[in-house]
Structure 1
């Protein structure tokens, strides 16, 4: 029964407004709030910006039907075709007013957009990829970026951002590694939660994806089944999502396409309701990944038809069907037939309407006008922030002293396919690669200086000879001779190799761009070998969305630099590292393998997953381990102290260490704390990251850090399937990477095994 209050009155409590509105709605109007529409432009019809775009175009013909009873979401009004901010904002407002006019109740829709490397729209700043965010080991910096991106989106009328990707990397061959924040759940959780806080602080609804297990597909194939047990799922895959829900305040979650052990996430009530809502207390909306509801019958074949898919997804906990109303357009019929309880519909509608109330979309004068349509989406402040992230994300993996390059270097050869192609710095979901690749005359839409331009600006007195050598992916060897000639005549050769991100096999990194192995794409390995044979000192610069196996030649390179698709300011940032203007401080969020085959897995493997055993001729030990990163200065650790030798199962121990800059210039280091459970009732990782801090120190300076390690941070899923803190002995180690750990200490947890049933300590605070 409707309450007495006016649901349009913004002075009333939001929950009461929602109940009043719900009481006035017909079943068809309720279902309308759970649907969406992708209003595509004609020029977007000649290429894909998402999977199954043929279905999108079919749904796009049903605008009148989709909006007759109201509409939940508008899909990507800025991210489908090039449009400047003011025009896009005007078009969005016009569309919103049309939605209001078509529906009896006059309720606008929530407009959502992608924001994986910044606001995915024409002319907006392209920040480094998520993998690069993680390489900074600097959550506060990523939170600032999230706030900047969110501010730009809200300025033009967008409400929700489909980011961040909280998936934990399990196989480097997977195309979407670039969208993740690495292979460690704690690093992913800390970085992603910071981004969520930034977006939400600007009024944007952050959307965690892909919940859950998507990144662990069999054979690293996009959308492939996930052969994972419940323990790995609980201890590796779920923690980052839990952190972002409990600590980040995210208001939306998007389901995974994958099926885990035969259960598609879109139909998994235990996951979407039992874990997410009942255990973690999530109160926001769950939105479907694009077409994932339809995939229940079309691909997974766990339902017999589209209407049944809609009912199954809604009952599992998916509130909104994206990107268009398809299966959810049949919900009313399912209710009328008695196959679906209307109360299930009401529950989802309440969640959607509550967010609309928070956004001002249920007010008497709904907030559909853009706050600042003339906003500069690639402002000087944005570019400075993009540059800072790029600089802090670049990892110096190895250096025999050739770097930094001398300012008066007589002759430098710059060769390779990522040396003078600005698109190679940008992620798959950047607007230039995601959409503008179909508009040959639009370029990148923003200035994106190449490495060649950056190096010439950085070293104006040097002669720089450029040769591409080979393309990124095509087997064209015709330019190798010219590259070899350039390298042979130079004092040093900068060899830039790596990826070009795109979609569904059109690139070497990105959604649907999975790799059969971890060799450099195309014939780039042949180029590297040919250049190394010249005898000229080679600085190998890898600009990529995943780590590639470099063991065949890294020991012959004078230096190795890794940049994970560093964004629009990436060329200048890499050039700054090469010149020494920037002292590199990035650390690896994924290991760099030695060999391209015999997939090494990640550093979190239990003992039998590590190298050094006689049982196999394949050694998975990486070339450069997780957490590795060098600098132009040096750092030393000393005086490790542990506050307690024994703590209870709900106690806390403090681990303190002094870090000193023992070199001759200022620099930044990432101090890493690892935990080893010496004996446990199930196999555990040999070590796992349990705390870290990025520290800036002047030459000769030092700093005392204290990590507050709670017993909850030792917890894991035990034999009974419950999360426990188990008594036993533990080793903590502090160092520069997961394999370079000069200091260690031991402590013991005593008492009876404790089962964790509610909230737990998810973070290891660092003070000092």
Structure 2
């Protein structure tokens, strides 16, 4: 055990900056470097199969045993709870022992920051599986997502964790990409507002949130994971970076993670422009930048912009990447590189200072009143899947389900519906309700079937079939076909079952996995947007029977439904709605809750020839014969029905003209003209009528979710600052220029019944420094 040295850095009454500088001045080069790495104790269970990630062994070649790794201290501990299935008391014992070892091994007794994944809830054994990020987008409800994130954060904090590696702010540009499920959708404003809400919620519980993947990852060529990103700088700056800027400025996020994919040849892990000039100097970010796992090693082994790991480490830290994850590799060379004159010590100190400041702010350097060592405060009795969690998970699931079509068949009345044929491979497979970063799909899926309780997934998770069985007395079931592989042998029996029923509920979609082990998830990219396996053929066979059919798509991406939508009586889209997804779906189908979800990404009509999202200049829209390919979606961004009807009226633009730095209020009246309550997502769009560069035809400016009782009217007023019309001009500066701006309001990007305009007047204004990023709405 190393003899402990105390000092000003342990005095909680002193300012954080003073404490950090006092400690930094006493540290050796090795002690400094130790704060910039991590350790991942993989502890692979012999019953599991496969690596955590492809090339894991190659990327981990420099990893040291734990005792050697922590010799001078440690920056992070990687996924103590999230690597193998551990009960809370088992994970707590492990974490306490590791933190005690880290503290004892360094002169200053500095603990490590323990981080975990938390994209669909805390990625730990028996923890609540909430709806995935794409489902958050469908809620259009930042307050609900903030509440969910706060609950996730409280569970993480209760187990001694300090940092969560979420949320994902990638803007979808091609839905074939496997990680679409992890995104919040295709619109940067929706992504920015919901991700910022998540950040605020998680950090309210004392957990550092981590934005990822900075930046451009989701725009990889041909939607292949880790493929190069080839896009113009205006698209990168105006669309891709926007939600990150909002979460930094508005959410005051504590950490950012780099992207794997190179942008026009430049790897983000080595990009001074991204990690320092944009993130810190332009946006004022003060937290830490952490490496996506093995991305420092990638600089040598994949991007080939470094000759060896020493150069990779030097490039990364010089660019502004502070912490190497998941374990220390190239960063271990930094002390010697400083001695050899290859790296300035000031560059090293810059990153160490950021890490130490976070540890001070987290209380990790505070001395207990009894004079002992710091230790993690862990509540071993915490229920990571409490009734309160499950109730919250169901509320999020309710608001995430999107009703795409309804000829009047919904809601179903259990007393008069008759015989219900449930058909489809996802109906009796609860894993289809979860994303790839849920613990059951991320970890438990590697174990033999039946190893864990509740169908091997660790938490109670009623399937769609289970939930429908609670409501309907006459239910039959035929899977029809598997999800992943093509096998149509069961389709005939499934169609026969539907033919003998009064109503068919056909469930289709995805099974999330990792690196090809599923149809959605990291490394599970697809060639086109046809339903996986033989599910398209299954749907067509059921429709051919003539039985009224409710199609339920539970997926991690939108699939092309154009060939079947016209024949369905109703269609519901869910994006991995989590452990309460089955009951939530049954609630919606039976009318126990109202459908309030809206599409965070359009549903295509055809499996190929996909658009890069609805945000596109005129040449990106349907060209009316110039090309034979029409990219118009079947159901556009923002689309969703309710069990009632809503009328839009009386758009009022406060002023016909505003200065290029001015503001204007725009109001819209909405009325529930039906017989049931609704939660209408009122959407305001804008289009720059004429600009110095090609601009999107329309783009979301703001939105508001409005609760309306039958017959009730409300007015929604949007406060718009001219900054919201800024764009990157021909000389690559951000500007607001004079001219007419078209405004539209309505229920979705393809249905905008109200129109107005405002004219910006004055000399072209360059927008620098802080700017207005939000368009607040007031409901009266």
Shifted more, 247-256 versus 367-376: the winner is 367-376
- Indicate if the aligned counterparts of 1:517 and 1:596 stay in contact, CA closer than 8 A: yes
Q: 2:83: which partner in 1?
A: 80
1:732 Cα deviation (Å)? Answer: 0.7
Q: 1:42: which partner in 2?
A: 44
Q: 1:670: which partner in 2?
A: 681
Q: 1:446: which partner in 2?
A: 459
1:450 Cα deviation (Å)? Answer: 0.2
Change (3 A) 1:433 1:59: farther
Q: 2:159: which partner in 1?
A: 156
Secondary structure of the corresponding residue to residue 612 of structure 2 = coil
1:598 Cα deviation (Å)? Answer: 1.0
Q: Within 1, Cα distance between the matches of 2:57 and 2:545?
A: 50
- Indicate if the aligned counterparts of 1:39 and 1:60 stay in contact, CA closer than 8 A: no
Is 1:116 equivalent to 2:116 in the alignment? no
Q: Within 2, Cα distance between the matches of 1:370 and 1:364?
A: 14
Question: Structure 1 regions of 5+ residues with no counterpart?
Answer: none
Of 47, 62, 83 in structure 1, the residue corresponding to residue 65 of structure 2 is 62
Q: Within 1, Cα distance between the matches of 2:141 and 2:337?
A: 49
How many residues of Structure 1 are paired with residues of Structure 2 in the alignment? Answer: 764
- Indicate if the aligned counterparts of 1:93 and 1:370 stay in contact, CA closer than 8 A: no
Q: 1:547: which partner in 2?
A: 558
Q: Within 2, Cα distance between the matches of 1:427 and 1:60?
A: 30
After the TM superposition, which residues 16-27 of structure 1 pair with which residues of structure 2 at under 5 Å, given as runs?
16-27=18-29
Secondary structure of the corresponding residue to residue 573 of structure 1 = helix
Q: Within 1, Cα distance between the matches of 2:179 and 2:775?
A: 28
Q: 1:488: which partner in 2?
A: 499
Q: Deviations over 1:269-313 (max 9, x none)?
A: 011000000000000000000000010010000111110000000
1:433 Cα deviation (Å)? Answer: 0.2
Q: 1:412: which partner in 2?
A: 420
Q: 1:394: which partner in 2?
A: 401
Q: 2:775: which partner in 1?
A: 764
Is 1:296 equivalent to 2:304 in the alignment? no
Q: Within 2, Cα distance between the matches of 1:597 and 1:53?
A: 33
After the TM superposition, which residues 191-590 of structure 1 pair with which residues of structure 2 at under 5 Å, given as runs?
191-365=194-368, 367-408=374-415, 409-440=417-448, 441-442=451-452, 443-459=456-472, 462-590=473-601
1:54 Cα deviation (Å)? Answer: 2.1
1:5 Cα deviation (Å)? Answer: 5.9
Q: 2:136: which partner in 1?
A: 133
- Indicate if the aligned counterparts of 1:449 and 1:568 stay in contact, CA closer than 8 A: yes
Change (3 A) 1:526 1:563: same
Secondary structure of the corresponding residue to residue 123 of structure 1 = coil
Q: Within 2, Cα distance between the matches of 1:621 and 1:456?
A: 38
- Indicate if the aligned counterparts of 2:60 and 2:329 stay in contact, CA closer than 8 A: no
Q: Deviations over 1:472-517 (max 9, x none)?
A: 0111212111101110001110000000001000000000000100
Secondary structure of the corresponding residue to residue 733 of structure 1 = strand
Secondary structure of the corresponding residue to residue 380 of structure 2 = coil
Shifted more, 406-415 versus 142-151: the winner is 406-415
1:4 Cα deviation (Å)? Answer: 12
Secondary structure of the corresponding residue to residue 648 of structure 2 = strand
- Indicate if the aligned counterparts of 1:592 and 1:622 stay in contact, CA closer than 8 A: yes
1:59 Cα deviation (Å)? Answer: 5.4
- Indicate if the aligned counterparts of 1:400 and 1:559 stay in contact, CA closer than 8 A: yes
Q: 2:15: which partner in 1?
A: 13
After the TM superposition, which residues 579-618 of structure 1 pair with which residues of structure 2 at under 5 Å, given as runs?
579-618=590-629
Of 168, 173, 183 in structure 2, the residue corresponding to residue 170 of structure 1 is 173
Q: Deviations over 1:408-466 (max 9, x none)?
A: 2110110001111000000000000000001231111100100001111133xx31111
Q: Within 1, Cα distance between the matches of 2:528 and 2:722?
A: 39
Q: Deviations over 1:576-612 (max 9, x none)?
A: 1111111101000000000001122210011111114
Q: Within 1, Cα distance between the matches of 2:507 and 2:385?
A: 27
1:571 Cα deviation (Å)? Answer: 0.2
1:6 Cα deviation (Å)? Answer: 1.7
Q: Within 2, Cα distance between the matches of 1:370 and 1:363?
A: 13
Secondary structure of the corresponding residue to residue 300 of structure 1 = coil
1:105 Cα deviation (Å)? Answer: 2.1
Secondary structure of the corresponding residue to residue 42 of structure 1 = coil
- Indicate if the aligned counterparts of 1:165 and 1:179 stay in contact, CA closer than 8 A: yes
Is 1:689 equivalent to 2:697 in the alignment? no
| TM-score, normalization by structure 1 | 0.98
1:524 Cα deviation (Å)? Answer: 0.8
1:367 Cα deviation (Å)? Answer: 4.1
- Indicate if the aligned counterparts of 2:672 and 2:710 stay in contact, CA closer than 8 A: yes
Q: 2:106: which partner in 1?
A: 103
1:61 Cα deviation (Å)? Answer: 4.9
- Indicate if the aligned counterparts of 1:550 and 1:594 stay in contact, CA closer than 8 A: yes
- Indicate if the aligned counterparts of 1:38 and 1:60 stay in contact, CA closer than 8 A: no
Question: Structure 2 regions of 5+ residues with no counterpart?
Answer: none
Secondary structure of the corresponding residue to residue 325 of structure 1 = coil
Q: Within 2, Cα distance between the matches of 1:377 and 1:336?
A: 47
- Indicate if the aligned counterparts of 1:661 and 1:667 stay in contact, CA closer than 8 A: yes
Q: Within 1, Cα distance between the matches of 2:208 and 2:471?
A: 40
- Indicate if the aligned counterparts of 1:81 and 1:435 stay in contact, CA closer than 8 A: yes
1:60 Cα deviation (Å)? Answer: 5.5
- Indicate if the aligned counterparts of 1:494 and 1:541 stay in contact, CA closer than 8 A: yes
Q: Within 2, Cα distance between the matches of 1:341 and 1:174?
A: 40
1:335 Cα deviation (Å)? Answer: 0.9
Q: 1:628: which partner in 2?
A: 639
| TM-score, normalization by structure 2 | 0.97
1:371 Cα deviation (Å)? Answer: 3.7
